[in-house]
Amino acid sequence: MNKRLLALLSVLVIASMALAACGTPATEAPAPEPTEAATDAPTEAPAPAAFECTDAIGCVTVAPGDPIHIAYALTVSGATASLGDDSRGAIEIAIADRGGELLGHPIELSGEDTLCNAEGGQAAGTKISADPTIVGVIGTNCSSEARAAMPLISQAGMVMISPSNTNPDLTNPDHPDAHPGYFRTAHNDLFQGRIAAEFAYNELGVRSVATIHDGSPYAESLQKVFADVFRELGGTVTAQEAINVGDTDMGPVLTTIAAGAPELIYYPIFEPEVALVTSKAKEISGLENAILMGADAGFSDTFPEAAGSAAVGMYLSGPYVDVNNPAYGEFLAKWADQIGGVPPSGFHAHAYDATNMLLNAIEQVAVVDADGTVHIPRQALRDALYGLSGFAGLTGNLTCDANGDCATGEALGVFQLSQAEVDGAWPPPVFWQP
C-alpha cells in the first residue's frame, strides 16, 4: 500500500471515533414506581395489655390447667349430718351438670364440716378464709355456724350462699351478724315463723301455744317470730321455754309447759333434741292431746324413726319444692343415679340453686386471657349476685335483694308425719301451703 492510501485510511478511522464520542448517550430504563405492597412494611398486631386487677377487694387468678376452686361449709357428721349430706349431694350434681368444668377449667370442690354449731363454723371459716384460691362458698346449714364463719369469709373477700340458714339477723343490715358477701336461697324466718303461726291459728284453730328453743340463733329467733305473730292473731302464748343442746331429759321442761295447758307446742329445734322432746311429750300429764309442731330443723329422714310412734300426726314447717316440676323430677333422677336413694332432708333444691347461681356469676364477671388464664374479680362477683334477678331455679324464680335474701317465699309448706315416715318412707307429702 502506498503512503498516500495509508494516510487516507488513518484519517477515516480517527473521524469515525470522534463521531462515536460525540453521539447521544444510551437511555437507561426508568426505575419502577414503588408498589403499595412495597411501601407498606408488614406490621404485627399489638400484644394485648396484661390484665391488671382494679377490683376493690382483689381478684382470683386461675392459671391455665388449674381448677376453679369453690368450697362448702356444711354439717356432714353427727346428728345433723342429714342436713349437710342433703346440700353436698346437690352441689355435686350441679357441678356434674356442667361436666365438672367452668370456662375451660376443672371445678374443684373442697369442704369443711361445720357441725351445726358456732365452734364448727369458726373453725371452717378460719380454714376457708386462709385459702386465697377459693372463689366462693356454699354454706352454712345452721345459722349459728354462719354467725361465726361469715365475718372471716367476708373479710377474705369471698361470697357465701347458704341453702338453709333462716335466721333473720343474717340479712338484717342493722344487725352485727350481717356481713357483705352473704346470700341465701333459704327462706327468712320472718316468713316461716309467720306462716307457722297462721297455720296453727287459722288452719288448726288452736288458741293457746307454748314454744321451746335450744338457745341457737335459729331456734330462738324462729320461736319468737311464731309467738309474736300468734299473739297478733289473738292467741295466747302460755310459755316460751329453753333447753340446752345436749340435754337428754326433757321431762322437766315439758312438765313446766304442761302447767299452762297449751293446745300446741312449737319447738323448732335440731336432732337429737327434737326427737327426744317428741317422744317424751305424750308421756307428760296434761300434754296427752297437745298438738306437736316442729320446723325445718327437724325436716330429715332420720327424725321420724328416732322419735317413733309419737311423731305420727305431728306437723313440720319446712322447705317445699313442687314435685310436679319437670326440672325437679330430673334432679331427683340424677340424685338416685349419682348419689343413691332420695335426698335425706329438705334443702337440696336450695343448694342446687345456690351452686348454679355462684357458677353463673363467676362466668359473668370472669376475664379470660388468650392463653386460658381466668381472672375473677371478687367485688364484681358480689355485685353480680346482689344484682341477680329472675333466676329460674328449682325453688322458683330467685331475685337477690341488697341484703342477700334471694328466696322466693314460694318454697315453704307444712307437712304432717305419718306411720309411713316412722317406718322409713321419705319425704312426707305436703299437708298445707300458704
| Mean of pLDDT values over 372-396 | 97
| Mean of pLDDT values over 186-194 | 93
Give the pLDDT of residue 9: 37
Q: How far apart are the first and last CA of the chain?
A: 144
SS3 percent helix, strand, coil of the chain, rounded to 5, is 40, 20, 40
**Confidence class of residue 44 from pLDDT cuts 50, 70 and 90?**
low
Helices 143-155/217-232 angle, 10° precision: 120
| Mean of pLDDT values over 146-160 | 98
Contact 331, 310 (CB under 8 A): no
pLDDT digits (tens, 9 = 90+) for 15-28: 344 333 334 343 34
The pTM of this model reads 0.86
pLDDT digits (tens, 9 = 90+) for 305-332: 999 999 999 999 999 998 889 999 999 9
Residues 306 and 276: their CA atoms lie apart, in Å, by: 8
Using alpha carbons only, give the angle 136, 193, 196 rounded to the nearest 5 degrees. 125
Q: Indicate whether 182 pLDDT > 60.
A: yes
User: Residue 385: in which H helix or E strand, if any?
Assistant: helix 378-386
What domains are defined for the chain? 59-188+323-411 (3.40.50.2300), 190-322+414-432 (3.40.50.2300)
HSE value, Cβ hemisphere, 13 Å, CA-based, for 89: 25
Longest dimension (CA), the chain: 172
For residues 49 and 118, which has the higher predicted lDDT (pLDDT)?
A: 118
Q: Indicate whether 378 pLDDT > 90.
A: yes
Helices 326-338/348-365 angle, 10° precision: 100
